[in-house]
Structure 1
Amino acid sequence: MAEVLSTFLLQPGDPAPNFSLPTPRGEILSLGDVLGANGLLVVFACNHCPYVVHLADALGNFAREIEARGVGTVAIMSNDLEKYPQDAPDKMLEFAREHSWDFPYLVDEDQSVAQAYRAACTPDFFLFDAELKLAYAGQFDDSRPRGSLQPHGGDLGEAVRRMIAGEPPMARPYPSSGCNIKWKPGNEPAWF
């Protein structure tokens, strides 16, 4: 399993790219539908990546904690479904239920949203403030699938705390790491 690092092409203060994407059941949700009073966490995820599986339960708990602080969460699955059927919408529902993801898990079938966010891996985390300006792009924490450290959300938790408190963002956060997004042929972005 090769580790891929996020690209940091979206910079602090950049606006969140808008989207309208379906849930696995076909309901369309937009950026404004998932924004909390104090901000939004956008997570690019999938069902099969060991890095996502490693922190999936912790992410469910983390999302409930930040929801209580006014920060919404949305996960977006952008992988090529033809080559990776284990990430299909029906399996997304099962995965979300298994890991207590109470937040929306959306399908980016044409991969345009992953491209707009300059997402590179799963999981890839983007935290936006109440005005939908990027406050943090980086790792959930320093745990890894084969390591001894359990997922704790420390890096992302500190970013949320700073954002809500109006403090400066973390200096040079460590990028997200995980499996590369599985691009459809011809969709591979220039930064990939």
Structure 2
Amino acid sequence: MALTESTMVDIGTQAPDFNLLDTLSGFKLSYKEVRGENGTLVLFICNHCPYVIHTIDALVDVANEYEPKGICTVAISSNDVVNYPVDSPDNMEAFALNNLFTFPYLYDETQEVARAYAAACTPDIYLFDANDKLYYRGRLDDSRPNSGKQVTGHDLRAAMDLLLQGKSSPEPQYPSAGCGIKWKK
């Protein structure tokens, strides 16, 4: 698998809307239905990527820590399930339950949402403010599988804290890195 970095979309970009199947509830959910009062964390992940597996506990911890502070989280998988059946909606539900997700895990079957967000890798992380403007995009922290560095979520947590304090977006911001999204042919 080739290491792919996230696309560094312009800060201030409006959050693209969506209406996707939540593999946990069975209902379609829009951005407006999952957004938080103080911000919204959008995670592009999948079930099998070693970079996601390496960070999933910290991603869930961050979601749980900041939800009471008014920042809601949503995860989206956009991978081609024909060629990567491990990322099917049934397997997404199992992955979410096994990892104790307290937030929706949406299936982007057409991959239109990944394209609208310019998502490139898993995990790809986007933090939007209370006005649904992009505040932070990039990495959870500088840990990678087999790097020997502990997963802390430092970069994302620092951005979320600054957002809640009403401060400007942090600089510099570093791209996330992981497996490339498995695009349909």
TM-score, normalisation: structure 2: 0.97
**Which consecutive residues of structure 2, in runs of 5 or more, have no partner in the other structure?**
none
CA RMSD of aligned residues (A): 0.9
Aligned to 2:118: 118
Correspondence 1:2-41 to 2 at 5 A: 2-8=2-8, 10-24=9-23, 25-41=25-41
Correspondence 1:81-92 to 2 at 5 A: 81-92=81-92
**Which consecutive residues of structure 1, in runs of 5 or more, have no partner in the other structure?**
186-192
Aligned to 1:50: 50
CA distance in 1, matches of 2:108, 2:79: 8
CA distance in 2, matches of 1:182, 1:142: 23
Moved over 2 A (4+): none
CA distance in 1, matches of 2:68, 2:145: 28
CA deviation vs aligned residue, 1:48-75 (integer Å, no higher than 9, x gap): 0000000111111110001011100000
Instruction: In structure 2, give the amino acid aligned to 1:50.
Output: P
- The alpha-carbon deviation at position 23 of structure 1 amounts to 1.2
CA distance in 2, matches of 1:26, 1:78: 17
Aligned to 1:75: 75
SS of equivalent residue, structure 1 residue 68:
helix
How many pairs does the alignment contain?
184
Q: Percent identity?
A: 51
TM-score, normalisation: structure 1: 0.93
CA distance in 1, matches of 2:131, 2:58: 26
Aligned to 1:171: 171
Instruction: In structure 2, give the amino acid aligned to 1:153.
Output: G
